[in-house]
Amino acid sequence: MAKPRIGIFSFTSCEGCSLAILECENELLDVLAIVDIVNFREGMTEKEDDVDIAFVDGALSTRRDVEHMKHIREHSGLVVAIGACAHTGGVPAMKNNLNLDETKRYVFGDQADHFDSIPARPLCAEVQVDAALPGCPMDRAEFLRLVLDVAQGKTFRLPNYPVCVECKLQGNPCLFDLGLDCMGVVARAGCNAVCPTFGDPCEACRGYVDHPNTQSHQEVLTKAGRTVEEIMHRYTRYNSFKPEHVQ
C-alpha cells in the first residue's frame, strides 16, 4: 500500500496546531516512515495539491480563506480540522461579537473595503469535515492516534465524556469550591484536564460533549450562586460561533 500523502494547511489562527505537529519530536521520524508530507507551508518549500489527508488549522475569516478551503476539499481524500479555530471557530470567532464594519471603517476610513474580513467560521460551515482534533492547542497524542488509526483503517473516535471525569481522576479539588467558574461539566474531555490541574478553569476549548448534561451543570452552578446564562456569556473564547453569523 502506498504511503498516505499528507498536507498541512493553515487559515486564520496562530498556527500553533501546525506547530504542534512539529512538536511530536520523539515520534516525528516514525510518522514520516508511514506517511509522506507533501504540502506544509510553515515547514517546507514543496507544494503539492492532491493529498489523501488534509490537516487544516484556523478559522475561515476572509473570502480568500473560503475559496482556498473549497479548493483543498476538492483535492483531498479526508479533511481533518485541527484545533479549536478550525473545529468551532475558536478565538477568531470572538470578533463576530463586534461590529465589524464600524471597526474596519474607523481604522481605514474609505479604504475599509480594501481589507478582506468576513465573520469567522469553522471549516464545517463551508465544507464537509471528516474528523476534528479539538483543543487550543490540539493534543499531539491525539494527532498521533488519528494518524495511526487512519493508517490501519480504523475508525477514530473522540472521548464523549466531560472534562470533569478526567479532573476527578487527576485528584484535583473542584474549582467551584475554590470560588472559580469552570466549563468542565459540559466540555469534551481528552486534554487530561490540564488547565484545572495547573490551577486554571476549563473554558471548553475542545467544544462540548455530544449531549452535555446541562442539568448537572445547572445544579453545580446554582450551588455556587451562578446561572448557566452567566457562564455561557462569560466563556465565549472558543464557542462564540453561531450559524446565524454566516447567513
In the complex with another protein, the residue whose CB is nearer, 116 or 215, is 116
**Chain centroid to CA 24: how far?**
18
When binding is defined by CB under 8 A, the residue of 14, 144, 165, 174 that contacts another protein is 14
Query: Taking a C-beta distance cutoff of 8 angstroms, is the pair 8, 18 a contact?
Result: yes
Question: Does the footprint of another protein cover residue 74 (CB under 8 A)?
Answer: no
Query: Taking a C-beta distance cutoff of 8 angstroms, is the pair 160, 188 a contact?
Result: yes
Cα within 13 Å of Cα(17), Cβ side? 32
In the complex with another protein, the residue whose CB is nearer, 92 or 162, is 92
| Residues in 39-68 at the binding interface with another protein, rule: CB under 8 A | 40-47, 61-62, 64-65
In the complex with another protein, the residue whose CB is nearer, 46 or 210, is 46
Q: How far is the CB of 157 from another protein (least distance, A)?
A: 24
Question: Does the footprint of another protein cover residue 169 (CB under 8 A)?
Answer: no
Q: What order do you get walking across the sheet with 131-133 strand by strand? A: 36-40, 5-10, 51-57, 76-82, 131-133
* 86 φψ region: left (φ > 0), alpha (ψ -120 to 50), beta (else): alpha
| Rounded Cα distance, 209 and 15, in Å | 25
- Using CB under 8 A, list all residues that contact another protein: 10-20, 22-23, 25-26, 28-29, 32, 37, 40-47, 61-62, 64-65, 91-92, 94-95, 97-99, 102-104, 106-108, 111, 114-117, 120, 136-137, 178-180, 194-195, 197-201, 203, 237
